[in-house]
Each structure stands twice: as C-alpha cells, then as structure tokens.
Amino acid sequence: MLIIETLPLLRQHIRRLRLEGKRIALVPTMGNLHDGHMKLVDEAKARADVVVVSIFVNPMQFDRPDDLARYPRTLQEDCEKLNKRKADIVFAPAPAEIYPQGTDTQTYVDVPGISTMLEGASRPGHFRGVSTIVSKLFNMVQPDIACFGEKDYQQLQLIRKMVADMGYDIEIVGVPTVRAKDGLALSSRNGYLTADQRKIAPALSKVMNVLADKLQAGERNCEELIAIAEQEVNDAGLRADDIQIRDADTLLALSDSSQRAVVLMAAWLGQARLIDNKVVELAHQAG
C-alpha cells in the first residue's frame, strides 16, 4: 500500500493507473478509521481495481474552531488498518497541499437548497466545505466510483446532486450504516463519549426505530411524533438537537405523494453531537 502526501506524486500514480486502464474507487474520509470506514473500503474493492482512501481533516467544513482542533488524528493506526484491508493508496495531504492560499479565498462549490437546510442550518458553511473538498478530491483522484456512508444521509444526497449538476462521470455508492451490537452508529466522534455516556448513547437509535415503526404503521402526525421522540431522547440523558421526518428523496416536508420518509436524528451527549437516520417505505392505499 502506498502512502502519498503530495499532489504531484498522487497525479503521477493516477496517470499511470489510468493508462493501464484500471478502474479507480475513492473512499473519502477524515481518518480515525473504524469498521464503518472499513465497510466502505470493502464495497470499493468489490467494485474497482484500485482503491484510494483519502484521509484529510478538512478545515473548510468545520464551523467551530474547537471542533476542528480536537478532531482525532490517528494516521499511523489508520494506515495499519487500511493495509490489512488491502487498500492500494492512502492520500493523506497536509492542509497546505489542498489549500495553498488558505480557505478564505478558495473557489467553492455550493449545492443550493440542500446545503443550508437541516444539518446545514445547524452547521453554517459545513456543506459548502464538504462539496468543495469532495469536488477537489474528485478532480485530483479522478475516480470511476466513490463510496459514502448512509450514516451522513444529507451529505450523500448533497454529493449525488453535485455529481448530477456538475456532470461528473463518477458512480456514487451509498453504503448502509455500520452499527455497534447495541445499535449505536459507529462514528469517530463516539470517541468523545465517557464510559457512562457510551452506555446511554444507543438510546438515539432506539428512539429512532420506535419513531420509524410508528410511521410504518401509518401514523402521520409528524409534529406529535417528533415531540414524543425529543422527550424520549432527553429522558434517556441525551439532549435532542434536531429530530426531523422528511421526504427521503427531496428532504422536504412529507407530502401525500412521498414514497419514502427519512427519520433524521441529531442529539448532544457530552462533547459529542451524534447523528443517525432511518428510511421508511410509506404504504400508499390503492385508488
């Protein structure tokens, strides 16, 4: 496995691989890798000849400097895991390699609508940072496919729209959320939880599943369903931040024509803001 830190070296290898006719998969990450990331690598390996994993804590997508400063950076362990998983290339650039002029004057990619709603409203500028870095990585790595986790549901929708709108010839693969045995979605930020907090964290997915079951059973009073879920999350010892029921395809409010709903959960627990989501197929009565 090659570990590449500079853009010229990356370009040299990508050029060679493309000349050899290799199909390239990209797995973009911010490092501190867990089994969720490994699932993305496995999916990428199954669909391509060469897997490039990028590890870059992207300053442009952080709305809070303290969040950026304490984000876990574990490059050596990450590379060991990726080597065992048979990734081919790790691209781990320093910020100056990606943003030589800094981020303030960086040309950006903005996906209208989707980037300012929901998580985008809670984290101003976050999605502009995500679409910009992913666009840059697409140009640098020139992948045929790229894998993203469904855990970051809105991010996946954002990338799909960016790819469609900008005409990228890249297949976007969404990978189902990998969970701990107790249901907690794996996430690098789970590392901020104390042992006691870790015990109560699975309440987020439990409340989400109950809400999803009610939707599946035909309940449609979203305001009431959300209020109950917020109460349950708070009673469990988390602090509900944003719980939403949306059309899974548009992320807008549910309508009579919605085919699928998505339950989007965000809650604070100590230093960690946890997110999760679940898609529900909506039954429509004939006639």
Ligand X SMILES: CC(C)(CO)[C@@H](O)C(=O)[O-]
The verdict on whether 13 is a catalytic residue reads no
Determine if 267 is a binding residue for ligand ATP (CB under 6 A): no
Please give the C-alpha separations between residue 210 and each of 1, 74, 285, in angstroms, as whole numbers: 44, 36, 23
Binds ligand ATP by CB under 6 A, chosen from 54, 61, 103, 187: 187
Residue-by-residue DSSP string for 41-61 = HHHHHHH-SEEEEEE---GGG
Cα–Cα dist 7/4, whole Å: 8
**Catalytic-role residue among 13, 37, 126, 284:** 37
For tokens 């100056």, what's the residue? 96
93 contacts ligand ATP (rule: CB under 6 A): no
In the complex, which residues of this chain contact ligand X (CB under 6 A)? 28-30, 58, 61, 130, 133-134, 152, 155
In the block, residue with structure tokens 């690598």? 41
| DSSP label at residue 15 | H
Residue 37 within binding range of ligand ATP, rule CB under 6 A: yes
Binding to ligand BAL by CB under 6 A, coded x per residue (else -) over 152-181, reads x-----------------------------
The pair of structure tokens assigned to 52 is 């490039």
- Partner whose binding site includes residue 133, from ligand X, ligand BAL, ligand ATP, none (CB under 5 to 8 Å by kind): ligand X
Our CB check for ligand BAL shows the closer of 78 and 152 to be 152
The response to whether 235 counts as a known ligand-binding position is: no
8 A C-beta contact, residue 93 and residue 52: no
Task: Quote the CA–CA distance of 53 and 188 in Å, as a whole number.
Answer: 16
Distance CA 55, CA 31 (A): 5
Smallest distance, Å, CB 99 to ligand X? 13
Residue owning tokens 């990585």:
137
State yes or no: residue 142 binds ligand BAL (CB under 6 A).
no
**What is the residue type of 9?**
L
Catalytic residue positions, numbered: 37
Binding site for ligand BAL (CB under 6 A): 61, 152
Binding residue numbers? 30-37, 61, 149-152, 155, 178, 186-189
Question: Using CB under 6 A as the criterion, which residues of the chain lie in contact with ligand ATP when the complex forms?
Answer: 29-30, 36-37, 39-40, 148-149, 151-152, 175, 177-178, 185-189
